[in-house]
A and B are shown apart, each in its own frame.
Chain A
Amino acid sequence: MTDTIAEHADQELSKGQTLVEMTDVGKSYGAIRALKGINLTVRAGEVTGVLGDNGAGKSTLIKIISGLHPHNEGSLKVDGKEVHFSSPREALDHGIATVYQDLAVVSLMEVWRNFFLGSEMVSGKLPLASLKIKDMKRIADEELRKMGIVVKDIDQPIGELSGGQRQCVAIARAVYFGARVLILDEPTAALGVKQSGVVLKYTAAARDAGLGVVFITHNPHHAHLVADHFVILKLGQAVLDKRRDEVSLDELTRQMAGGDELTELSHELKRS
């Protein structure tokens, strides 16, 4: 699997190079402000762990980077150039691939068609040029096997797979197509222990291949295993922004769990 990532990674990436830079980014949906004053830097060869409780703004944050929703405050720079994505296609063209928590796959379509959706292999430039179906099936099957997913039939509709397997297909796809930046939105939320392990290994492998990785989760244990840099969001704002050597797992867990609020709660719940 490291081969896949290394093969598809942009060869010109050098460790530590800034890929995505968000300065004072904010986003509001009508009267609701989902994000405010976010500063986030994604560097090549690093994993940025974004943590936060439900509704903290994690998903909004990655939807901005991946082009699903444009930001309306601050600046977003990719490779030093100011961008304002109006569609996910533009983000993909910059080598930014995303695994969405809720938008993974089209369940009635075959596994291999899902794998290549939006990035199909074709044999010519004409609009009606034929798909390279054999190659696509072979590659999809190989990539899934590398993740330990063996589907009964690569032609079966993806809706027949279990939730975890579907998530793995989405991850395998992003790893295969994401050349520069890989964004994972709660990749381990629907997975069992073993598959979570595989996903974490993938994340580390992507980092080693020089990609910039954004890892969104509400599991501080998973984040602490792979991330080099942590950002904790609360109510749309960053409440913690530290490097790995500056923060301990305990502190992460405490912040995630609500920090002082939890201490307060434990006092309230204390049996007399």
Chain B
Amino acid sequence: MSQTTDKPTLGAHAESSNRVQQPVLNRMLARPEIGALVAAIVIGIFFLIVAPAFRSGDSLFTVLYQSSTIGIVAVGVGMLMIGGEFDLSAGVIVTSAGLFNAMLSYQLGLNLWVGAVTSLLFALFIGFLNGYLVMKTGIASFLITLGTFFVLQGVNLGVTKLVTGSVSTPNINQMDGYGALHAIFASNFDLGSVSVQITVLWWLLFVAISTWVLTRTRIGNWIFAVGGNAASARAVGVPVLKVKVGLFMTVSFLGWFMGMHTLYNFNTLQAGNGVGNEFLYIIAAVVGGTMLTGGYGNAIGVAIGSFIFGMTNLCIVYAGWDPNWFRAFLGVMLLLAVLVNLYVKKLSTSRKVG
């Protein structure tokens, strides 16, 4: 054993017969986003047939805008779910962040930038609190963030009523800093004959960053590891606490971003908004192939999940149907996605000979 010529040859004889490439089809099917992509194409063709109004470039970009309003936060929620946790407060934090900015700036007469930055710090703090509580208490994130969800929901309404006397914030479009903030978060531009909302670009950028982080960086490796098996990850030196807290803060950062869009797009906010959206983010992530138990998924899948959401949401209207059916449709999509995920998990954890 102390000489290089003395290497063990055990098993080496089997090398030539064992070393085979998996069939292309199997490799394709093993990717998390494939199920969602097939679903998106089928649903797309279906609506192109039944909803003539969908067949224009304008509608496509409207659909993309609609998708981005869910998709931006879903990027974070998807990463968090790959890391093995949930955030039910992701829907209301969007509204909290917007309200915080609007009321702080309006009541104290501050520049909107000051309000926006303070609101960002507030959102990051909520994300930190979620993550820290989950990690330090060992209580499931579902319960911790359910708590945060109710607290924020109540605070949103209570504080808004206390400060403004109603459940909506005053119009902020005459205040200092509005122009630049509106341009960043809620402007649109013309691309040929169609108008494109800037959030579509932000969405694509966040998806690209998320894809990079998840597949090409050390942090991405750690995210999969803490979601797949936190104890093993810790044993090989992965900083589990930092990774998970970072993920919760990423979600609240993206929630803040969406809150800024909502505020600077409509100039005024209803304090009760955002409730229920947390489930849309989770559905987008799950439909996109993210596993509820963590450790599996990718950003492009989540983006496709969001796109399916945006497409059905609008195309049901384009097709002239009763929009109330939309939620029933989402429910069916979710169930189908869970079934596909279960099948994939079986494929990837069952032992193959070799």
Chain A residues within CB distance 8 Å of chain B: 1-3, 66, 68, 87-89, 92, 98, 100, 103-109, 113, 116-120, 122, 127-131, 133, 145-153, 156-157, 159-162, 173, 194-195, 197-198, 201, 204-205, 208
- List of A residues within 8 angstroms of B4 by Cβ: 2-3
**B348 CB contact (under 8 Å) in A108, A162, A208:** A108
CB distance from A154 to the nearest CB of B (A): 10
**A103 lies within 8 A of B235 (CB):** yes
Contact B236 A148 (CB under 8 A): no
Asked if B229 contacts A106 (CB within 8 A), the reply is yes
Nearest CB of A to B136, in Å: 14
Are A128 and B11 interface neighbours, CB within 8 A? no
- A-side contacts of B6, CB under 8 Å: 2
Give the distance to chain B from A75, nearest Cβ to Cβ, in Å: 23
Q: Which of B58-66, B180-188, B220-228, B300-308 contacts A (4 or more CB under 8 A)?
A: B220-228
Shortest CB-to-CB span from B53 to chain A, Å, is 42
A-B contact list, 17 entries, CB within 8 Å: A3-B4, A88-B236, A103-B229, A103-B231, A106-B225, A107-B349, A108-B224, A108-B296, A118-B238, A119-B236, A131-B221, A145-B15, A148-B12, A159-B349, A160-B348, A160-B349, A201-B8
Tell me which residues across on chain B come within 8 A of A131, comparing CB atoms. 216-218, 221
Q: Shortest CB–CB separation between residue A60 and chain B, in angstroms? A: 14
Residues of A within 8 Å of B232, CB to CB, are 100, 103-106
> Least Cβ distance of A149 to chain B in Å?
7
Chain A residues with CB under 8 Å of B332's CB are: none
B234 interface residue per 8 A CB criterion: yes
Q: Which residues of A contact B18 (CB under 8 A)?
A: 150, 152
Q: Which B residues touch A130, using CB under 8 A?
A: 212, 216-217
Question: By the criterion CB–CB under 8 Å, are A109 and B295 in contact?
Answer: yes
Given contacts A128-B213, A150-B11, contact A89 B352 (CB under 8 A): no
Known: A106-B225, A198-B10, A205-B2. A152 touches B19 (CB 8 A): yes
Find residues 273-318 in chain B having any chain A CB closer than 8 Å to their own CB.
291, 295-296
The answer to whether B235 touches A88, judged by C-beta atoms less than 8 angstroms apart, is yes
Contact among B14, B221, B235 for A120, CB-based, below 8 A: B221
Decide if B219 is an interface residue (CB 8 Å cutoff).
yes
Cβ–Cβ < 8 Å partners of B345 in chain A: 108
Nearest CB of chain B from residue A179's CB, rounded to whole Å: 14
A106 touches B295 (CB 8 A): yes
> Is B324 an interface residue when CB atoms closer than 8 A count as contact?
no
Question: Once bound together, how far apart are the Cα atoms of A151 and B354, in whole Å?
Answer: 7
Known contacts A98-B235, A128-B213; A194 and B10 CB within 8 A of each other: yes
| A250 to B338 alpha-carbon distance, docked (Å) | 57
What total of A-B pairs shows CB separation below 8 Å?
149
List A contacts of B174 (CB < 8 A): none
Chain A residues within an 8 Å CB radius of B52: none
The answer, among B233, B234, B239, B354, for a CB contact under 8 Å with A152, is B354
Chain A hits for B225, CB < 8 A:
106, 109, 113, 117-118
Q: Is B22's CB within 8 Å of the partner chain A?
A: yes
A147 touches B8 (CB 8 A): yes
Residue with the highest number of chain A CB atoms closer than 10 Å, among B3, B8, B12, B350: B8
With known contacts A107-B349, A127-B219, A130-B216, A117–B236 Cβ distance under 8 A: yes
List the B residue with the shortest CB-CB distance to A105: B232
Check if A117 sits within 8 Å of B233, measured CB to CB: yes
Partner of A117, one of B12, B238, B351, B354: B238
Contact across chains for A118 and B237 when beta carbons are under 8 A apart: yes
Residues on the B chain within 8 Å of A195, using CB: 10
Residues of A within 8 A of B21 (CB): 153
> Which residues of the partner chain A approach B234 to less than 8 Å between Cβ atoms?
68, 87-88
Q: Are A108 and B212 in contact (CB under 8 A)?
A: no
Per-residue A-contact encoding for B12-37, CB less than 8 Å = 1, 0 else: 10110011111000000000000000
Determine the distance from Cα of A3 to Cα of B2 in the docked complex, in whole angstroms: 9
State the CA gap A148–B11 with chains docked (Å): 5
Q: Do B10 and A157 touch (CB < 8 A)?
A: no
Contacting pair A2 B1 (CB below 8 A): yes
The answer for the CA separation of A205 and B18 in the assembled complex, in Å, is 28
Chain B positions within 8 Å of A204 at CB level: 1
Is there an interface contact between B1 and A109, defined as CB atoms closer than 8 Å?
no
Contact A208 B349 (CB under 8 A): no
Query: In this assembly, does B9 line the interface, its C-beta being within 8 Å of a C-beta of chain A?
Result: yes
> Chain B contacts of A120 at CB under 8 A?
218, 221
Query: Given A109-B295, A152-B354, A159–B348 Cβ distance below 8 Å?
Result: yes
Would you call A160 and B352 a contact (CB within 8 A)?
A: yes
A194 to B213, CA, bound (A): 40
B345 CB to nearest A CB, Å: 8
User: In the assembly, what is the distance between CA of A208 and CA of B2, in Å?
Assistant: 7
Q: Are B217 and A152 in contact (CB under 8 A)?
A: no
Q: How far is the CA of A130 from the CA of B214 in the complex (A)?
A: 10
Partner of A157, one of B11, B212, B217, B349: B349
